[in-house]
Structure 1
Amino acid sequence: MNTTSSNPAGDTPDLGQLQVYLTSAANGYPIAGASVRVSYTGVPDSTFLELSTDASGQTETIELAAPPLEYSLTPDTEEQPYSEYTLQIEAPGYEPVTIAGTEILPDVKALQNTVLKPLGPAGSSEEVFVIPAHTLYGSYPAKIPEEEIKPTDETGEIVLSRVVVPEYIVVHDGSPRDSTAQNYYVKYKDYIKNVASSEIYATWPADTIRANVLSIMSFTLNRVYTEWYRNLGYDFTITSSTAFDHKWIPERNIYADISVIVDELFSNYLSRPGVRQPILTQYCDGRQVQCSGWMTQWGSKALGDQGYSPIQILRYYYGDDLYINTAESISGIPSSWPGSNLEVGSRGSKVRQMQEELNTIAGAYPALPKIDADGIFGPTTRKAVRDFQSVFGLPATGIVDYPTWYKISEIYVGVSRIAELS
């Protein structure tokens, strides 16, 4: 099968990658045997490839035409730096979904992670999602400036006693006062990955991506910590309006490079000395909009090109007294990080717990092996960890590091539903 498409514009293209991953809204299990038809967005009846999902709910990774890499690396070009494809997804027993505008950048892997709803009693009802332009390419309202540190001593104001990474947040898909906008219940890490994929390009330097991810997380955790919108009488955590918060887009694809970085950093936020709350780190693009005293995204890209580290990029814009902090608590996990990597030779209760969680996951993902939960990390456990990492987009080292521990916890909670029972 030829899995490389030609560019409908006729240019000699660069290539990006796409993989689709489907799970069930009913139980978090992967959906095998689903059909994914790929076509050019805006070209009716142009299906050129049909994929199917395996036992892990994943399609093969395919190559697709994308514009030249330099389009996403310079603020000066007017050319769209990504190509757009439409995905028509169907699976027996589930509502069909069409996603128009999956964005393919060159040299990076796009991940289309979609949760399908079981068919209702009325039968099939297709959902269609149209993905709007990336914020660095399209036109969106500029951020309305706010104080970066919120007053939290007013009578009756709800404020958390400590910084907690939530398992879920409620995203209002519109401006705060738009009562017609829908609220979405979104996993915190999935929200951060979505926003970062919507607001920066995954082709940028890794440390630029890290700096921007830290800014997005700190801003979001400030909204969580201060209960900002609930104190204004709303029933959500944050909005998808760029004038007030960040751009979050239902069913948009994310990028593998961004996903790995968020998994690495998700418990971090930005602090100033003597201030308990995460800093509301506001930014702008630096091309269409300028913002004195804030980070600019294109500026952060230029600093990353010069070899600046994430904290150097952030301090360049926000001042030398900014530092990276770690949340005291992470919600929705069975047990916290052991404090050091688990690898061949490790023993004890944390190894046994990890093995038991992998076995529960293997019950939902038949491509993953079951192992003896004996508390001893041997070659069989290393292989099971490596297989898990391969399925869930982590570096396949066979070592349970910080991101892998929490990814195992996340998938375990999803397939065992212990969060609903606790």
Structure 2
Amino acid sequence: MPDKGLHVQQNENVDRGRLQVNVTSTLGLQPVVNARVGIAYTGESQRVLEELQTDSSGQTEAVTLDAPPIEYSQEPDRPQPFSEYTVTVQAEGYRSVEVSAIDVFANVTALQEIRMEPLDISQKEGTENIVVPPNTLWGDFPPKIPEDEVKPVNESGEIVLSRVVIPEYVIVHDGPPTDTRAQDYYVRYRDYIKNVASSEIYSTWPEATLRANILAIMSFSLNRVYTEWYRGKGYDFTITSSTAYDQKWSFGRTIFSNISRIVDEIFNHYLSRPNVQQPILTQYCDGKNVTCSGWMTQWGSRYLGEQGYSPIEILRYYYGSSIYINSAEEIAGIPSSWPGADLTVGSSGTKVRQIQQQLARISQAYPAIPTIAADGIFGERTREAVEAFQRIFDLPVSGVVDFPTWYKISQIYVGVTRIAELN
């Protein structure tokens, strides 16, 4: 395996990827303005390639960086398909952060979230150093221990949920279940799914392949939530980061823009079978280093996506014809549920007023969003505010409050109105 810090040396054999850095405070979702951001190759941190500064939304511009040819990520036996970069962030009044081994793929925008701790509450000195583990398709990780895809009550303990609910947070145990030294992290459910998908598949794969894998990841996760699998065994967490037991989650992981947008669009979905109430524990393997009869293989799903299979066709190819996509009716931790139809210019009523109130509050932290009046009428000013919000939070810019935009506004509103986030 190539050494860490590998980067493209020859200009004639190089593609380009993009990297954007988003910096927020650990106290709420307040953006850190005017943070100084340096980008270098991992292993060559003294040779700074880019020096950037965050704007009023705590974001840098998306910079173009060298990446290996996209073909490297389309077959399993090719050279390392991503370049690795190190990002250092400094800001007045905050503890500095350095994240190394950030993956940049060709033709994809990588989003690096940086959470900075204010010095007046920090209990640690010096720079916070984070090393992102390799993608599981490239690194060496233990294979999944097989389990039944549906959990009997007497095996998992008492099933405490009467219906499938999308949780606001999951508690991730960063190690095997029995490792008492491993740290537990409170992670927003959507952020957890984005992290796992960015850790376990390549963002350069066909969209149908990405969607199929994300659906499998979400269904697996929601089975753990629904069955209270680990709590039924006496643990105080939802899921682990061990690939032998669950899925790979990595603290500080770079997220990819296309994966992020898919998750925002379908995060309330999971996989079902007829007459089975709980989400299916959809297990999978890479299909190269590990074989897994009856499970989806990640490399195999890439080939099917390339052949034009739809997400559900890919899933049924591996899990059988009875599998289908279901959706949860309840989403925890939000002020109000999706109205069921897009809100656009000309819409009016209480749902419009609610979204206007939330955008007005968010704009206090993110001044690039125009301040609007909560009059319950969706006019041009509201459209401009929605477009600004979508632009900041990496959603398709349409000016329409669709399903992903509604729930992203709700998520950010809850974040900026809380005194402090769970960490």
- Mapping of 1:250-329 within 5 angstroms? 250-329=251-330
Query: Quick check: 2:156–2:228 contact (8 Å CA) kept in 1?
Result: no
- Mapping of 1:206-245 within 5 angstroms? 206-245=207-246
- What is the Cα deviation at residue 48 of structure 1? 2.1
Secondary structure of 1:111's counterpart equals strand
Instruction: Give the equivalent residue in structure 2 for 1:81.
Output: 81
| Counterparts of 2:123 and 2:260, CA distance in 1 | 37
| RMSD (Å) for aligned C-alpha atoms | 1.6
User: Given the superposition, is the C-alpha separation of residues 220 and 419 from structure 1 closer, same or farther in structure 2, using an over 3 Å criterion?
Assistant: farther
User: Given the superposition, is the C-alpha separation of residues 121 and 386 from structure 1 closer, same or farther in structure 2, using an over 3 Å criterion?
Assistant: closer
Instruction: Give the equivalent residue in structure 2 for 1:353.
Output: 354
User: Given the superposition, is the C-alpha separation of residues 61 and 154 from structure 1 closer, same or farther in structure 2, using an over 3 Å criterion?
Assistant: closer
- The alignment status of 1:331 with 2:303, answered yes or no, reads no
Unaligned runs of at least 5 residues, structure 1: 1-5
| Counterparts of 2:7 and 2:216, CA distance in 1 | 35
Q: Does 209-218 or 42-51 show the bigger shift?
A: 42-51
Instruction: Give the equivalent residue in structure 2 for 1:113.
Output: 113
Query: Quick check: 2:157–2:233 contact (8 Å CA) kept in 1?
Result: no
User: Given the superposition, is the C-alpha separation of residues 306 and 235 from structure 1 closer, same or farther in structure 2, using an over 3 Å criterion?
Assistant: same
- What is the Cα deviation at residue 27 of structure 1? 2.5
- What is the Cα deviation at residue 162 of structure 1? 1.1
- What is the Cα deviation at residue 125 of structure 1? 2.8
Query: Quick check: 2:28–2:420 contact (8 Å CA) kept in 1?
Result: no
- What is the Cα deviation at residue 7 of structure 1? 5.4
Query: Quick check: 2:151–2:227 contact (8 Å CA) kept in 1?
Result: yes
- Mapping of 1:22-101 within 5 angstroms? 22-77=23-78, 79-101=79-101
Unaligned runs of at least 5 residues, structure 2: 1-5
- What is the Cα deviation at residue 288 of structure 1? 1.1
Secondary structure of 1:394's counterpart equals coil
Q: Give the partner amino acid of 1:165.
A: I
- What is the Cα deviation at residue 10 of structure 1? 2.9
Q: Does 301-310 or 8-17 show the bigger shift?
A: 8-17
| Counterparts of 1:376 and 1:196, CA distance in 2 | 38
Secondary structure of 1:404's counterpart equals helix
| Counterparts of 1:410 and 1:148, CA distance in 2 | 31
| Counterparts of 1:184 and 1:33, CA distance in 2 | 28
Query: Quick check: 1:96–1:124 contact (8 Å CA) kept in 2?
Result: no
- What is the Cα deviation at residue 70 of structure 1? 0.1
| Counterparts of 1:114 and 1:95, CA distance in 2 | 11
- What is the Cα deviation at residue 113 of structure 1? 1.1
Q: Give the partner amino acid of 2:128.
A: E
Secondary structure of 1:88's counterpart equals strand
Q: What are the superposed Cα offsets for residues 55-108 of structure 1, whole Å, 9 maximum, x if unpaired?
A: 00000110000000000011232x100000011111111111111101000000
User: Given the superposition, is the C-alpha separation of residues 225 and 7 from structure 1 closer, same or farther in structure 2, using an over 3 Å criterion?
Assistant: closer
Secondary structure of 1:302's counterpart equals helix
Q: Does 254-263 or 9-18 show the bigger shift?
A: 9-18
Secondary structure of 1:36's counterpart equals strand
Secondary structure of 2:38's counterpart equals strand
Q: Does 396-405 or 148-157 show the bigger shift?
A: 148-157
| Counterparts of 2:320 and 2:28, CA distance in 1 | 46
Q: Give the partner amino acid of 2:410.
A: S
TM-score by length of 2: 0.95
- What is the Cα deviation at residue 122 of structure 1? 6.0
Q: What are the superposed Cα offsets for residues 234-260 of structure 1, whole Å, 9 maximum, x if unpaired?
A: 111000000000110100100000000
- What is the Cα deviation at residue 185 of structure 1? 0.6
- What is the Cα deviation at residue 139 of structure 1? 1.2
Q: Does 139-148 or 23-32 show the bigger shift?
A: 23-32
Query: Quick check: 1:159–1:227 contact (8 Å CA) kept in 2?
Result: yes
TM-score by length of 1: 0.95
Q: What are the superposed Cα offsets for residues 277-329 of structure 1, whole Å, 9 maximum, x if unpaired?
A: 00000000011111100000011111111111111110110011101111121
Q: Give the partner amino acid of 1:144.
A: I
Query: Quick check: 1:152–1:159 contact (8 Å CA) kept in 2?
Result: no
User: Given the superposition, is the C-alpha separation of residues 245 and 156 from structure 1 closer, same or farther in structure 2, using an over 3 Å criterion?
Assistant: closer
